[in-house]
Amino acid sequence: MVYLDAFYEEWDTHLIGAKTRLRPQPMPGDLAMRLIAFASRKLYGKMFATWPPKVRQALLAKYATVEPQRASAQERSNVPELRDELKAWGQVPDKPLIALVALGIDTSMKFLMSKQVLREITEGKAALYRPLGDSAENGQTRVLLDARHSTISTDAPDVVLQAIDDLWRRVS
């Protein structure tokens, strides 16, 4: 398994500040969702700038719209429930894994959180994912200082591909 800065149920174990603890997030209203979708065009445009025009346009038409943004907001709205559900399943299976940790700050987070909270999240995430990598006999954690959660695969494509290749070589 290659984790791309994936949610890990031990978040509250390592991020203990009042502003970093998991809590349900309210769903934005329709106007806010339309503004988020509009703003996402610029983000996705940058992410896919070097992609073939036909592919880039198809991705923008699909993801820079209200529905995918609403789905993302719904995912964030029940993170504590997701944490509890994952914990109920028990420990991460002892299978080969590489956890990639993105410590860069997403653009939206810069607007929504103080520098202190962002620092706490960065430090906490670095500590959070080490035990995940160590939980498997063939596990490993790799920290990406400049990659961001939302754009890890486009911020560090070579690192992501290398992790997939390294894991594939371990299991084949």
pLDDT exceeds 70 at position 163: yes
Instruction: Identify the band that residue 99 occupies on the pLDDT scale cut at 50, 70 and 90.
Output: very high
Average pLDDT, integer, range 123-136: 86
Statement: residue 155 has pLDDT above 70: yes
User: Which of 6, 4, 142, 148 lies closest to 83, judged by CA?
Assistant: 6
C-beta neighbour count of 161 within 10 angstroms: 12
- Predicted confidence at residue 93, as pLDDT, reads 85
Contact 130, 141 (CB under 8 A): yes
The mean pLDDT value for 108-133 works out to 83
Residue 24 has pLDDT above 80, yes or no: no
Task: Indicate whether 21 pLDDT > 90.
Answer: no
Q: Which residue in this structure is represented by tokens 């987070």?
A: 109
Q: Which of 111, 130, 106, 120 is nearest to 8 (CA)?
A: 130
Query: Residue 18: its pLDDT value, please?
Result: 67
Give the residue, 18 or 133, on which the prediction is more confident. Answer: 133
The first and second tokens of residue 32, run together, are 């806010």
Say whether pLDDT at 160 is over 90: yes
Per-residue exposure over 33-66, b if at least 16 CB sit within 10 Å of its own CB, e if not: beebbeebeebbeebbeeeeeeebeeebeebbbe
For residue 10, pLDDT beyond 90: no
Q: Is 90 left (phi over 0), alpha (psi -120 to 50) or beta?
A: left
Percent of the chain with pLDDT over 70: 99
CA distance 154 to 160: 9
**Rounded distance, CA 111 to CA 101, Å?**
21
Residue 66 has pLDDT above 80, yes or no: yes
